[in-house]
Chains A and B, each alone.
Chain A
Amino acid sequence: MSAETATIALPDTADSARANAATRRMEKISSTVRYTILIVVGFIMVYPLLWLIGASFKSNQEIFTNPSFIPFEPTLDGYVEGWKTSTPYNFGQFYWNTFLIVLPKVIGTAISATLVAYGFARFEFPFKRLLFATLIATLLLPNVVTRIPQYLVFRDLGWLDSYLPLWVPSALAGDAFFVFMLIQFLRAIPRDMEEAARIDGANTLQTLIFIVIPMLSPAIVSVCLFQFMWTMNDFLGPLIYISSVAKYPISLALQLSIDATEAFSWNKILAMTVISLAPSLVVFFLAQKHFIRGVATGGTKG
């Protein structure tokens, strides 16, 4: 009996082994193809950045003669000269200026967006629907539409050529996107913990600080990171409101070096571009884990 089953089973086993081997081979080929395509496309995407970093170590002349991104004669001239800039201020000044905008903006956004989102997500108040609809409407409104009226308001307030127009609106929860993002995140967190805190004797503000904010922290980190990177990269805002060179942030300073010289020293510009990219890259990679968690986990509880 057992011999019989064995003879019957044998061809089956051989067949299935062959089928398994074929499947494995197909999987190998398919993954090789997939990874090759991804690597090639990925390289094409990253190439400009690699070239930028390589070129920042080249001399001005070599940039135009050497198509490869690896410099023949690496030099730090671009960095040294670029840092001095063509203005009375060095690049450190512009860095500091950027910091003066970014810091209050990020902190202000985190606090105000959290407060407003908490209100919308957890409380009933008159005209809530109307106000929420307004919030969403501003989210859909193109920024350029409000530029001119905003400019007029800030001019009348006497805020031109200061950093106030750049960060005060955000610190008053003016960025609907962040408020909306936090509301969605909060909606996914069950209310039971907050109710337990109320029964434990916490008032509304204590509940927010001790219970809600810790649970909301991945989303708040994401908000801070987004705001940080967008502010670092913002060109139009400073261009409109900042007029004196002494107050220029990095984004304007880069443009300045293009305008100010007749023969462009590209190596300086590229070197300073690399320097201005650095903070965003460093912050992003340091906080990558939180960032992705905050963006991706809107649906699951914290």
Chain B
Amino acid sequence: MASLDLVNLEKTYGNGFKAVHGINLSIRDGEFMAFVGPSGCAKSTTLRMIAGLETVTSGEIRIGDRVVNNIVPGERGIAMVFQNYALYPHMKVFNNLAFGLKLARRKKPEIEGGVAATAKLLEIEQLLERLPKQLSGGQAQRVAVGRAIIKKPQVFLFDEPLSNLDAKLRASMRVRLIELHRALKDDGLSSTVAYVTHDQTEAMTMGDRICVMKDGRIMQVDDPVTIYSRPANAFVGGFIGSPEMNIVPATLGGSADAPTLTIAGHTLRYGAALGARIAPGTGKAVQLGIRPQHLQPVGANGDGLPGRVAHVEYMGHEVYLHVAVGGLNLVSVVPGEAFDRSKLRDDRIWLRPAEDLLHLFDSETGQTISLGRA
């Protein structure tokens, strides 16, 4: 049973490169926290500092109420699952699982009992006598997870554990890991998880909360719904969601009751509902963020942005329209069965960002200036 707290955590490498810029984060006991961000955002470095594989330049890491900065990895009460599994290649699965317990000088019956229970939980009983090279990717992954579980750690650390699996297996392992997390929680075992991934699907589906990182800084920490519907800044808006959110420069005009947005020379009129969401004191130049799903075609008279369909991606259940509006390229997602390109005249189309679903970001800082919809 343990929470995990990062206080002003910083990491500067020997060559002077500052990878982590003062991270403050509190992961609650039993919580599944997904760290996500583009490569080089220091999410793995942060995880490795929690594990004790990287030294901390300044700040504190607390597991439970214990500061673990100077405690060796083996005594921090953590277990880690690596991207490439990192199974000991010369040991059979049994010994891979038992290695940690053997080092802790546990009694033989206890070790055997622990291995048996873990193997049963992960359905790898029939693999115990195999060497890692005789395992498939999914099996090796389960052994790696088993090696973490058997130690009954206070905090689990996952470093992109599913990246080496093929898409199908990844989807099933995702579900398995979530179920496992729930099972551990139900058994009253500690199940605080810090899970690093670059895959937003994993982060969205698995995390109780998501920590979006960029360049060694936390961009937003929230539950998946909030992260998606109320991104704190343009980066989070663009990073989470597929296809990517359209983020284009726009000019804010009109009054609070009847605001207007000018995009690529075309002015769209909105109502008081949008006016109420805009933070007071907002300047004129902003960035409009609109998800392709919320940028829908309207009729020629529907107060939309006039554009031309440049390119169509047919995905089956939906269609991605790449539309040139002035000099901008916008993406709109429409239902597959409702779209028929041959009905468009000269590929002309009008798109309107949905009033209650559009986001406005400060054009300088990228921070959101549209308050969340009620």
B52 neighbours in A (Cβ, 8 Å): 198-199
16 contacts between A and B (CB under 8 A): A192-B82, A192-B86, A195-B73, A195-B82, A195-B86, A196-B80, A196-B87, A196-B88, A197-B99, A199-B51, A199-B52, A199-B74, A201-B73, A201-B74, A202-B74, A210-B88
Inter-chain contact A199/B78, CB cutoff 8 Å = yes
Contact A215-B89, Cβ < 8 Å, known A199-B73, A210-B99: yes
Partner of B89, one of A124, A195, A210, A302: A302
Tell me how far the C-beta of B355 lies from the nearest C-beta in chain A, rounded to whole angstroms.
50
Of B72, B78, B88, most buried by chain A (CB within 10 Å of CB) is B88
Contact A200-B82, Cβ < 8 Å, known A193-B88, A215-B90: no
Question: Which residues of chain A (244-302) have a CB below 8 Å from chain B?
Answer: 301-302
B244-272 Cβ-contact flags toward A at 8 Å (1 or 0)? 00000000000000000000000000000
Q: What is the CA–CA distance of A219 and B227 in the complex, to the nearest angstrom?
A: 51
Tell me how far the C-beta of A174 lies from the nearest C-beta in chain B, rounded to whole angstroms.
29
Question: Which residues of chain B (91-138) have a CB below 8 Å from chain A?
Answer: 99-100, 103-104
B73 neighbours in A (Cβ, 8 Å): 195, 198-199, 201
B28 sits at the interface (CB 8 A): no
A87 sits at the interface (CB 8 A): no
Q: What is the CA–CA distance of A155 and B52 in the complex, to the nearest angstrom?
A: 50
A214 sits at the interface (CB 8 A): yes
Partner of A196, one of B14, B75, B82, B90: B82
A203 neighbours in B (Cβ, 8 Å): 72, 74
Closest to A198 in B: B73
Q: What is the CA–CA distance of A192 and B144 in the complex, to the nearest angstrom?
A: 12
Other contacts beyond A192-B82, A199-B73, A199-B74: 13, CB < 8 A: A124-B14, A193-B87, A193-B88, A195-B53, A195-B86, A198-B52, A199-B80, A200-B74, A201-B73, A210-B99, A214-B88, A215-B89, A302-B89
Tell me how far the C-beta of A86 lies from the nearest C-beta in chain B, rounded to whole angstroms.
51
Inter-chain contact A200/B89, CB cutoff 8 Å = no
- Report the count of interface residues on A (CB-CB < 8 A): 20
A202 neighbours in B (Cβ, 8 Å): 74, 99, 103
A206 sits at the interface (CB 8 A): yes
Q: What is the CA–CA distance of A139 and B14 in the complex, to the nearest angstrom?
A: 29
B367 sits at the interface (CB 8 A): no
Tell me how far the C-beta of A198 lies from the nearest C-beta in chain B, rounded to whole angstroms.
5
Q: What is the CA–CA distance of A190 and B89 in the complex, to the nearest angstrom?
A: 11
B86 neighbours in A (Cβ, 8 Å): 190, 192-193, 195-196
Tell me how far the C-beta of B71 lies from the nearest C-beta in chain A, rounded to whole angstroms.
12
Q: What is the CA–CA distance of A210 and B100 in the complex, to the nearest angstrom?
A: 12
Q: What is the CA–CA distance of A195 and B85 in the complex, to the nearest angstrom?
A: 11
B90 neighbours in A (Cβ, 8 Å): 214-215, 302
Inter-chain contact A211/B74, CB cutoff 8 Å = no
Tell me how far the C-beta of A282 lies from the nearest C-beta in chain B, rounded to whole angstroms.
27
Partner of A201, one of B87, B88, B103: B103
Closest to B14 in A: A124
B84 sits at the interface (CB 8 A): yes
Q: What is the CA–CA distance of A202 and B105 in the complex, to the nearest angstrom?
A: 11
Partner of B103, one of A124, A206, A215, A302: A206
A190 neighbours in B (Cβ, 8 Å): 84, 86
B174 sits at the interface (CB 8 A): no
Of A197, A198, A200, most buried by chain B (CB within 10 Å of CB) is A200
Inter-chain contact B147/A196, CB cutoff 8 Å = yes
- Report the count of interface residues on B (CB-CB < 8 A): 24
Inter-chain contact A192/B79, CB cutoff 8 Å = no
A124 neighbours in B (Cβ, 8 Å): 14
Q: What is the CA–CA distance of A165 and B285 in the complex, to the nearest angstrom?
A: 82
Q: What is the CA–CA distance of A200 and B78 in the complex, to the nearest angstrom?
A: 9
B214 neighbours in A (Cβ, 8 Å): none
Inter-chain contact A200/B53, CB cutoff 8 Å = no
Question: Which residues of chain A (170-199) have a CB below 8 Å from chain B?
Answer: 190, 192-193, 195-199
Closest to B79 in A: A199
Question: Which residues of chain B (1-35) have a CB below 8 Å from chain A?
Answer: 14
Q: What is the CA–CA distance of A275 and B332 in the complex, to the nearest angstrom?
A: 85
Q: What is the CA–CA distance of A190 and B51 in the complex, to the nearest angstrom?
A: 18
Closest to B83 in A: A192
A302 neighbours in B (Cβ, 8 Å): 89-90
Q: What is the CA–CA distance of A302 and B117 in the complex, to the nearest angstrom?
A: 30
Closest to A200 in B: B100
B41-62 Cβ-contact flags toward A at 8 Å (1 or 0)? 0000000000111000000000
Contact A198-B88, Cβ < 8 Å, known A192-B82, A206-B103: no
B217 neighbours in A (Cβ, 8 Å): none
B170 sits at the interface (CB 8 A): no
B74 neighbours in A (Cβ, 8 Å): 198-203
Q: What is the CA–CA distance of A203 and B100 in the complex, to the nearest angstrom?
A: 11
Contact A201-B100, Cβ < 8 Å, known A195-B82, A196-B80, A196-B147: yes
B277 sits at the interface (CB 8 A): no
Q: What is the CA–CA distance of A301 and B84 in the complex, to the nearest angstrom?
A: 13
Q: What is the CA–CA distance of A201 and B86 in the complex, to the nearest angstrom?
A: 15
- Nearest first, the 5 closest Cβ-Cβ pairs linking A and B are A201-B74, A192-B86, A200-B100, A214-B90, A196-B86
Tell me how far the C-beta of A147 lies from the nearest C-beta in chain B, rounded to whole angstroms.
41
B151 sits at the interface (CB 8 A): yes
A196 neighbours in B (Cβ, 8 Å): 80, 82, 86-88, 147
Tell me how far the C-beta of B87 lies from the nearest C-beta in chain A, rounded to whole angstroms.
8
A89-116 Cβ-contact flags toward B at 8 Å (1 or 0)? 0000000000000000000000000000
B80 neighbours in A (Cβ, 8 Å): 195-196, 199
Q: What is the CA–CA distance of A182 and B275 in the complex, to the nearest angstrom?
A: 69
Inter-chain contact B84/A192, CB cutoff 8 Å = yes
Q: What is the CA–CA distance of A249 and B160 in the complex, to the nearest angstrom?
A: 58
B104 neighbours in A (Cβ, 8 Å): 201
B14 neighbours in A (Cβ, 8 Å): 124
